[in-house]
Structure 1
Amino acid sequence: MARDDGLSSCPACPAPHHRRDGRALRALRLPHPFPTLLNAVAVVLLALVAADGRPELGVTLRLAATMLAVQSAVGIVNDCMDRELDAVTKPWKPIPAGVVGVRTAWGLGALAAALALVLGATLGPAAWLLSTAGLGVGLAYDLWLKRTPFSGLTYAVALPLVPLWVWTALGQLTPALLWAWPVGALLGGALHLANALPDLEADAAAGVRGLAQWLGRRRALAGAWGGYLLAVLLAAALGLLLGHERGLLLLGAAAALALLGAAVGAFARRPGPAGLRLGWSLLAPGAALLAVTWLAALP
């Protein structure tokens, strides 16, 4: 009987364009596009701040490209390592859905890591060491630390590296940047917990024993929100003590607090994985905004 669903019944015939397009779009999820693009945008903004609004275009583009490669490598390797877990908890992801093969994914991850090393080397030796350290921390998280109570350390170390890397690449490194480290470490730990919370129970059932699983849902939630709040308050206090431009400093802190309130409200309305995922999508740009405004307000 002839089919009338618009699809060919011939097994050897090419797949319709809309099906190939759909697979391509699903494959784009492999490098975790939301955090990858968010970090690249944050790097461009930080470059503008570091160079007083006039960064060298070539350096800025290489910074953004390096960050895209680093984040893509970390995201792809994460999905390769989690493919069996994702087959149970997130079957829609590219590898368990069969959109991207495992060997292909590993190859793409290796390619992204190689690009990160090559692009990072164009920014100078000191900047290359910092970007390579960030890549190493991210891959250590994927390959080992994610499944241990030390999983939060990777975020706490990697996040404060970003402004140091940007300022170093642009030749603008200043001792005042070291004060950003405790704020970045707190933000990194809080974001790690916020990112892990939506899948906490499913990951725990599959044997993952990261920091969020070790703490449990209630304490992990308190750590995510409390750590983020403490980071905002510390950023404001340090900024006032160090003589930051007060208006911009307080504007950034207020915006970050508003996004924290929105994240808490999202969970109050939808106290489950969906609400927690929405909260993460609010806290991540809030952290980026806080970092950019704090650094822009440097005296």
Structure 2
Amino acid sequence: MPPYDRAVPGAGVEAGVDAGGAVPPALVAPARRPAAAVAGLLRACHPPAVVAVTALITALAAASGRGPGGCVLVAAAVLTGQLSVGWCNDRVDAGRDAAAGRRDKPLANGAVGARTVALASVAALALCVPLSLASGAAAGAAHLVGVAAAWAYNLGLKRTVLSWLPYAVGFGLLPAFVALGCAGRPWPPVWAVAAGALLGVGAHVTNVLPDIDADLAAGVRGLPQRLGRRRARALAPVPLFAACAVLVFGPPGQAGAMGWAALAVTGALAVLTAVPAAAGSRSRLPFLAALVTAGTAVALLIAHGDSLVSRR
């Protein structure tokens, strides 16, 4: 399950508590109208990521042959898992966001309380367990391991050179969750898991590109931050292009016109973005190219959804 890649957890006030374990004054908001608190809670879950990942995996489940009921179960499991991860991320980073004056963050600006977000995160995680297992023990275990990886990222791995690992595990296990929940419980093909893992690593690097300088100033030392802005910008399209290549050549059958076209476009983007990135340009081209490449990889994965359960 993909984690969320923003401010890093720390100790004391940076973890959202002071030395005595209390929530800092900046996070204690006055009484809120219920509607405003709900709106703040929704903003704290990282809605774009929640919607995008839930829609992607639900579409993949439909493409793999899951019926309407099965797709609803997949959507509910992924949605609750994503909500738990998003709320966990904002709760862990609440102190740092408040100290940095992040008025766009609901916890930092007082739109919702820290206790509310923490309870919502735990409640979503509790719902995620039975909803995941409803697709079968093996499928549920695959999904829950991905969710656990995302929580581990939020709670500390994001500060280390292994910051990419939870993304690789979370994205790599999503095709497994879908395949193992289908009739016959087939193991997912290696190419699907590999493509998911590569897509996750690319998503991690791409996601932190806009904030690398701020992260370094705040002491965030994940893999992209250790590489530095220039090398991270050049690296971002590489795992995404590799995911596209795996999705073109991995599934059974010929690559086809769509596959070759996807490789041509994403390969050209990878080469073109490496030049300005290596030169230290501050162009947004590497970031935008990585987004296009990621979108192409997602489209290829969904297009080959029926191959997830193929026994060939």
Q: Is the 8 A contact 2:40 2:112 kept in 1?
A: no
Equivalent pair of 1:137/1:154 in contact (CA under 8 Å) = yes
Farther off after superposition, 83-92 or 123-132 = 83-92
- 1:58 paired residue number: 69
**CA shift at 1:192, angstroms?**
0.3
Contact 1:134 1:158 in 2 (8 A): yes
SS at match of 1:170: coil
Q: Distance in 2 between matches of 1:249 and 1:232?
A: 8
**CA shift for structure 1 position 189:** 0.9
Structure 2 counterpart of 1:293, from 303, 309, 312: 303
Following TM superposition, by how much is the alpha carbon of 1:151 offset from its aligned partner in structure 2, in angstroms? Answer: 0.6
Within 1, Cα distance between the matches of 2:246 and 2:173?
Answer: 18
Cα drift, residue 252 of structure 1:
5.2
- The structural deviation recorded for 1:28 is 2.0
When the two chains are superposed, the root-mean-square deviation of aligned CA atoms in Å is 3.3
Q: Is 1:31 aligned to 2:41, yes or no?
A: no
CA distance in 1, matches of 2:272, 2:121: 34
Instruction: Check if 1:131 corresponds to 2:143.
Output: yes
2:70 counterpart letter in structure 1:
V
2:232 is aligned to 220
Equivalent runs, 1:8-23 vs 2, <5 Å = none
Structure number with the higher helix fraction is 1
Q: In structure 1, what is the equivalent of residue 182 of structure 2? A: 170
Matches within 5 A, 1:1-299: 24-51=38-65, 55-87=66-98, 88=100, 90-171=102-183, 173-174=185-186, 177-239=189-251, 242-244=252-254, 246-250=256-260, 253=263, 271=282, 282-296=292-306
Report Cα offsets for 1:219-260 as digits up to 9, x if no partner: 111221222223223332334xx4246245345556766887
Structure 1 residue runs of 5 or longer lacking an equivalent are 1-13
**Structure 2 gap ranges (5+):** 1-30
Helix, strand or coil: the match of 1:207?
A: coil
Provide TM-score, normalisation by structure 1.
0.79
**Aligned partners of 1:78 and 1:280: how far apart in 2?**
24
CA contact 1:194–1:279 (8 Å) conserved in 2:
no
Instruction: Provide Cα deviations, 1:60-80, integer angstroms capped at 9, x if missing partner.
Output: 101001101111111111111
Contact 1:66–1:116 (CA under 8 A) maintained in structure 2: yes
Q: Deviations over 1:98-153 (max 9, x none)?
A: 11111111111101111111211211111111111111111011111111110101
> Relative to 1, partners in 2 of residues 1:20 and 1:286: Cα closer, same or farther, differing over 3 Å?
farther
1:11 maps to what in 2?
Answer: none
CA distance in structure 1 between the partners assigned to 2:268 and 2:148 by the alignment? 33
Which of these two proteins has the greater Rg computed from alpha carbons? Answer: 1
Identify which of structures 1 and 2 has the higher relative contact order when contacts are C-alpha pairs closer than 8 Å and 6+ apart. 2
CA distance in 2, matches of 1:72, 1:209: 25
Aligned amino acid, residue 212 of structure 2: L
Tell me the percent identity: 32
State the 1:43 CA deviation: 1.5
State the distance in 1 between where 2:107 and 2:286 align: 24
Question: Using a 3 Å threshold, how does the CA distance of structure 1 residues 294 and 116 change in structure 2: closer, same or farther?
Answer: same
